[in-house]
A and B are shown apart, each in its own frame.
Chain A
Amino acid sequence: MADKVVTKAIRKAFPTRGGELPVLDDIDLSVADGEFVAVVGPSGCGKTTLLNIIAGFERPDRGDVYVDGVPVSGPSPKRIVISQQGSVFPWLTVRRNLTFGLNGRPRDELRRLADQYAGLVGLQGFENAYPFELSGGMLKRVEVARALVVKPEILYMDEPFAALDALTRFRMRLELLRILSHERHTALLVTHDVEEAVQLADRIVVLTARPARVKTIIDVPFPYPRRLSSADVIELKESILRELGVEALTSAAEFPPGPASAAAR
């Protein structure tokens, strides 16, 4: 498959009072056409900065981002970002949010498209609601639908479900997989949630702590839908956690003696 998104030696530092704070250090990565790549890294390692650079909102100090071989100079409706804090416009109804990015089409077509995508994400009946009337999970559905309705070639996701409760987050991942199986997009997800990466991605890029470098790239060979409780998936998850420097406590010797172990004896 052809490379859709390529970054070449991206560097970024932020000026601080004590000098430059390097955030990204020579990040090379690529996402193939139709591929789902997840970038995982410790909190504060520069994942969001990396995504903002790839999406064209920020400029790298050095290096370039290419989409279809063309350098990226700014954001484009062909590449839509879904962010953690959510950017559904609270002053517009669900329907007006969904048609926000659609230009120059007749009114009834806008309405039909909005209602179709509202249905796709399970929001039928809420087309005329205002965001303050919706739950966090529903808002996220609006944002996903608003991104999909403009038929982007690439979806960029920055910890998209991090602000949701655990159950809703899990449900949204399954929904995302279902939707992506209908409309295959190229997708790049940045997250600190290893489980999310393992559940969704074809390939996982592991970053180091700041300044972020690519530590390793791991293929995820399991077919969808993935059972998070299967041994293979758990093993992969633990190996990624080890890459991130989080060792699972596996041997009894590592546990300090506590009430539980005392009771067992």
Chain B
Amino acid sequence: MPVWQVLAALGELASQGLLIPHVVASLARVAGGYLLAAALAIPLGITMGWFPGAFRALNPVIQLLRPISPIAWIPLAILWFGVGDLSPVFLIFLSSVFPMVVNTTTGVHTIERHFIRAAQNFGVSGFKLFRLVIFPAALPHIIVGMRISLGVAWLVLVAAEMIALHSGLGFLIMDSRNAGNRYDLVVAGMVLIGMIGLLLDGRVRRLERLNQLRWRYGR
């Protein structure tokens, strides 16, 4: 597939006014599933990391569900949420929740004990301990989890959008193949997914340069 054909396909999408809507639809689904996953996974991971009882109770469930591919959930997703926006959001949620839970838990588990002891020495406990010590100490691991999840979420996008209607980069790829073997559009969709993935990862990596995090990542 010559490069100019792919560029021409991208130009065709842009001139038809389809490029931006496909990208926006995909980004919105990824953002929805991903943010829902983060909202659940980070508090859950902190709880599992801090309370041994929570870890013992929940870790087997997490490890049981984690190896099941999001693709395997597609039939159930259609059954529960139908064909539309909710199913892809659900699949992206499923794919991105586990790396964040596991990394957040590890982040809390690996907090060095002398930090916790220093906080207790100064009489800091309860919610303040979480806000001032546990969360910031685990944050470098949490961000690693968020990076992995973002990659995975973007990865399952195409599969997730097989059950989307009329929009999204995954839909574009499947539809271009089904409606006339337009492989130039297929590759154009692939290129767009790759480029957006690169941009998103760059955004998340910028977090690592925050002063609150530099201690873990080095200079």
- A binding-site residues for B, Cβ under 8 Å: 55, 57, 74-77, 79-81, 83, 85-87, 89-93, 100-101, 103, 130-132, 150
B137-A77 in contact (CB<8A):
no
Total residues of chain B contacting the partner, CB 8 A: 23
A-B pairs with beta carbons under 8 Å apart, 5 shown:
A76-B123, A80-B121, A92-B212, A100-B119, A132-B219
A91-B123 in contact (CB<8A):
no
In chain A, what residue has the closest Cβ to B115?
A: A87
A74 to B119, CA, bound (A): 13
Chain A residues closer than 8 Å to B137, beta-carbon distance: 89, 91
Chain A residues closer than 8 Å to B112, beta-carbon distance: 85
A103-B123 in contact (CB<8A):
yes
Count chain B CB atoms within 10 A of each CB in A76, A81, A83, A132 and give the residue with the most.
Answer: A132
Q: Which 9 A-B pairs have the closest CB atoms?
A: A101-B122, A90-B215, A87-B118, A91-B136, A91-B212, A87-B114, A77-B123, A75-B121, A130-B211
A153 to B118, CA, bound (A): 16
B117-A87 in contact (CB<8A):
yes
B122-A91 in contact (CB<8A):
no
* B193 contacts the other chain (CB 8 A): no
B139-A91 in contact (CB<8A):
yes
Chain A residues closer than 8 Å to B219, beta-carbon distance: 132
A130-B215 in contact (CB<8A):
yes
In chain B, what residue has the closest Cβ to A88?
A: B118
In chain A, what residue has the closest Cβ to B119?
A: A100
Chain B residues closer than 8 Å to A57, beta-carbon distance: 117, 120
A-facing mask of B81-115, CB < 8 A → 1, else 0?
00000000000000000000000000000001011
B212-A100 in contact (CB<8A):
no
* B213 contacts the other chain (CB 8 A): yes
Chain A residues closer than 8 Å to B132, beta-carbon distance: 89, 92, 100
* B31 contacts the other chain (CB 8 A): no
In chain A, what residue has the closest Cβ to B219?
A: A132
B114-A85 in contact (CB<8A):
yes
In chain B, what residue has the closest Cβ to A130?
A: B211
Closest Cβ–Cβ distance, residue B124 to chain A (whole Å) = 7
